[in-house]
Amino acid sequence: MFSSNDNKILETIKVGKSFGKMSALADVSFEVTMGEVLGIAGPNGAGKTTLFNVIAGKLDNSGDIVFNGKNISKFGPHQICKEGIARTFQIPLLFSTLSIFEHAKIGTKFGLSIPAGKDTDDEIMELLDFIGLSSKKHEIADNLDLFDKKLTMLAAAVSTKPKLLLLDEPVGGLSPREINDYISLIEKLKENLGLTIIVIEHLMPILTRIADRLMILESGRQICIGTPNEVRNDPYVREVYLGENAYA
């Protein structure tokens, strides 16, 4: 029986994933409430991206994943997108010959239902303006720098009109200025669009800036979840991930 918290949007219940004899996730259970930003961190190989792949339907799993009160554990990626979950990837996945505008246009076809024949071009332009890409709408993906590729992937995800957005290391490889701009955009997505967001990130100062709560994974297991202050002061987290001198 699934719990009935009206503010809960996502719940994972003893989620597991194995590749042969290797356990990538084991009994991962947590909840995310509407409008929350949950940060996920942990050492390389901890299972962070595997968890995203399971939630997004790219990988099968044991246990249950409940979204808006519906068990989506057996749903495929296109079904999960229709339910209102969108994601980005560590390395931008784009159609090299399509423009920024066309990427966002494609996103509108895969998300929450849009009335047949409705013209979404004005909405797409509003979104590109919000993200900061409207002046580059005709630029081809293959010609973009890394930052704009990441923004284009984000625009395509947000154009599906998700309720929950999964961001996998969104600032990896960016300059300090670009990191700040992207983090400010995450804050705008939460405040202006009311999105619930889960962010995977290695840089703890970034997560503590944007996240309401943090979860640490290690060897596929959840070892700690709580407020940023609680997590970074947890003795075991400091031992296996942050180091004893973290935030000294």
Q: pLDDT digits over 183-216, tens only?
A: 999 999 999 999 999 999 988 889 999 999 999 9
Residue 118: pLDDT band with limits 50, 70, 90 = low
Sequence-ordered list of residues with C-beta below 8 angstroms from that of 152, at least 6 positions apart, any chain: 92, 94, 100, 103, 104, 133, 141, 144
| Domain spanning 1-84+162-248: CATH superfamily | P-loop containing nucleotide triphosphate hydrolases (3.40.50.300)
Residue 24 carries which DSSP code?
E
Length in residues, the chain = 248
Q: Taking CA 77 as the corner, what is the angle to CA 121 and CA 130, rounded to the nearest 5 degrees?
A: 30
Would you list the DSSP string of 186-213? Answer: HHHHHHHH--EEEEE-S-HHHHHHH-SE
Q: How far apart are CA 177 and CA 89, in angstroms?
A: 21
Radius of gyration of the CA atoms of the chain, in A: 18
Mean per-residue pLDDT for 95-122?
81
Q: Which DSSP category does 90 fall into?
A: S
pTM of the model: 0.91
User: Domain residue spans in the chain?
Assistant: 1-84+162-248, 93-160
pLDDT the model gives residue 1: 34
Q: Give me 141's structure tokens.
A: 């993906």
Q: At what angle do helices 121-131 and 176-193 cross, to 10 degrees?
A: 130
pLDDT on residue 125: 95
Integer Cα distance of 90 and 93 in angstroms: 9
Helix (H, G, I), strand (E, B) or coil at 143: helix
Dist CA 198 CA 225 (whole Å):
13
Maximum Cα–Cα distance across the chain: 59
Continuous segment of H or E residues that includes residue 151: helix 146-158
Nearest C-alpha neighbor of 87 from the set 1, 178, 10: 10
Instruction: Kindly give the pairing relationship between strand 85-87 and strand 70-71.
Output: unpaired
Residues 53-98: tens digit of each pLDDT: 999 999 999 999 999 999 999 999 999 999 999 999 999 999 999 9
* Confidence band, pLDDT 50/70/90 cuts, at residue 102: very high
| Number of CB atoms found within 10 A of residue 61's CB | 23
Please report which confidence band the pLDDT of residue 109 belongs to, taking 50, 70 and 90 as the band edges.
confident
DSSP code, position 59: S
